[in-house]
Amino acid sequence: MSVDDDGQVFIGETAKERMLLYPESSASVFKRSMGSEKIYELAGKRFLPEELSALVLRALKEDAEVYLGEEVTEAVISVPAYFNDERRKATKRAGELAGLKVERIISEPTAAAIAYGLYQNRENGKFLVFDLGGGTFDVSILELFDSIIEVRAVAGDNFLGGEDFTKVIEKIFFEKNPDISESDLSEKELRHINKQAEKCKLGFSEADSVDNRYSVMSCVINDKTYEMTLSIDEYEAKCDELLDKIRQPIKRSLSDANIRLKDIDRVVMVGGATKLSFIRKFVGKLFHNLPDTSINPDEAVALGAAVQGAMKERKDSIKEVILTDVCPFTLGTEVVLEKDDGRFEDGHFCPIIERNTTIPASRTERLYTVNDNQTQICCKVLQGESRFVGNNVMLGEIKIKVPKAEAGKEAVDVTYTYDVNSILEVEIKVVSTGEITKQIIKTNATDMSEEEIKERMEALSYLKIHPRDKEENKLLLLRGERLYEESVGRNRMEIEYAIRDFEKALDTREESVIEGARRDFKEFLEDFNE
């Protein structure tokens, strides 16, 4: 997305074009930072990742309202399966900031499974959803029986996606053009190179084309044109490290689900990055099974989320299916362990709900006092996989009073309850007295009351979404400005004349004149860009 000096917000293709011209006031791949305190500064304004996401969701909400002719108030939002508690709550918050009631947070692989109609198969089976998007990678193993889709295991990498495969092409470009120093280039020039690398990557994305063995990348830097011809074999070899990173979550999910590669009946490909032919070939070799690519991988998750919304409304045309999900990370608390010399050592992690436990889930662990006359027990709520507290994420803590007694005589039952919307309730019961304390665990990054949500929405109200009827005009102008900057000589003059003619038509404010000029200008840009 991109923000101009007047506070206008641009989303999608318009924002991508504007990013090439104004990189300092644009942002992308902020999904990777959801749930964090990272700050994005755009046009002198400061945003959290969830606030940027809220603006995108608001634009989608408005587009849907225009298309449907009615107000949209509720939403089902999909997230990467490997999103932790903080990221999921931040996503829910983004929906609320956009003015939506978020009915459910659904994992993207589960949504993809619905889109592919796995539940309509007559035979039961095990399926693996391979989801490689622009910024994140997920792998989920699902089992189908009757009308139930059960998620058996999830794994992934929140910092692996199509952007990383684009960066490989950028690296190759600099290697083949040693007279260009990356450190000497401006942000705008780097964005230009990234754009051309992306186009080069898309040249390999027609997975069913046997002739698609080469792709060309061309950049204009300081009025000089640099070109590179890249073969698919060279590109694939340079991506070995990324492919190795893909293997790890696959191995982990299979291990957690306690199944073997040969037990997988069907592999479903999701996410735009899976259009790369060598990605599909890699998956096919790994599973000895041709992956299913029958649905546009860019649309599968959105289609599944839409079907889930229809299920919620119990539409007659939609077959009811029961979905079960899993907890993506282990949830537990801190305990002390007695060493051989009799001393106690703190900082150890005690799992209560293990990762990939089917949710909703509730588990209880009994903990004892370790000191004589101890009057309090502190329950630290943690998330992670390390046996040491310091390596895991702290979600909160609860302090409970207990009667004085000898060490080990007093105990508390700690119960964690985790629901399908990633809400964690911690209940602690003092065994001797029956006293119960309950608390919903929320993180600082996402803990806002209804009043705070309203205040924050009002604080963001100065941001004006560009009117829908002007969006296409702005996109064409930005595209023209980019081509002007990338061109030289006579080409540059022709582009300037075309831009001026279109701007004159816009100044008339007559829709019939603008429509014709827009059509002509669009054809000019398409012909020029061929």
| 286 close to 267: Cβ distance less than 8 angstroms | no
Q: Give the integer Cα–Cα distance in Å for 116 and 109.
A: 10
Q: Which two tokens stand for residue 417?
A: 């309850």
Strand partners, 78: 106
DSSP for residue 9: E
- pTM for this one? 0.66
Residue given tokens 């399966």 in the structure block: 81
Under 8 Å between Cβ of 223 and 90: no
Q: Which ranges of 98-144 does DSSP label H, i.e. alpha helix?
A: 108-115
> CA quadruple 201, 139, 89, 39: dihedral positive or negative?
negative
Nearest by Cα to 29 from 155, 164, 154: 164
Question: Count H helices, E strands: the chain?
Answer: 14, 23
Q: Give me the pLDDT at residue 507, please.
A: 72
Question: Exposed, middle or buried: residue 37 (CB in 10 Å: 0-12, 13-18, 19+)?
Answer: exposed
pLDDT of residue 277: 87
What does the DSSP assignment read for 15-39? HHHHHHH-GGGB---GGGGTTS---
pLDDT value, residue 432: 93
Cα–Cα dist 304/118, whole Å: 11
Distance CA 241, CA 154 (A): 22
Query: What's the alpha-carbon Rg for the chain, to the nearest Å?
Result: 27
The helix or strand, by DSSP H or E, that contains position 62, with its residue range, turns out to be: helix 49-68
Q: How confident is the model at residue 282, as a pLDDT? A: 93
Give the number of other Cβ atoms within 10 Å of residue 468's Cβ.
11
Q: What is the pLDDT of residue 445?
A: 39
pLDDT of residue 509: 64
In tens digits, the chain (530 residues) has pLDDT values of 788 887 788 888 888 888 888 888 888 888 888 888 889 988 888 899 999 999 999 989 999 999 999 999 999 998 887 787 778 888 999 999 999 998 788 888 778 888 877 655 546 788 899 999 888 898 889 887 766 777 888 888 888 999 999 999 999 999 999 988 888 898 889 989 999 999 999 888 754 444 568 889 999 888 889 999 999 999 999 999 999 999 989 998 898 888 888 889 889 999 889 989 899 999 999 998 889 888 888 888 888 888 888 877 765 555 555 666 778 788 999 999 887 777 888 899 999 998 888 777 888 899 999 889 999 999 999 988 888 898 888 888 999 999 999 988 999 999 998 876 667 889 899 999 999 998 887 543 344 555 655 565 555 544 434 334 477 888 888 888 888 877 777 888 899 889 889 888 887 766 677 888 889 999 999 887 75
Distance CA 347, CA 337 (A): 9
Q: Residue 404: name the closest of 371, 366, 365, 367 by CA.
A: 371
Give the SS3 label for residue 386: coil
Peptide bond just before 249 cis, omega within 30 deg = no
Per the CB < 8 A criterion, the answer to whether 321 and 148 are in contact is yes
Give the up-direction half-sphere exposure of residue 488: CA atoms within 13 A in the CB hemisphere: 7
In this predicted structure, what is the pLDDT of residue 464?
38
3-state secondary structure 252-277: HHHHHHCCCHHHCCEEEEECHHHHCH
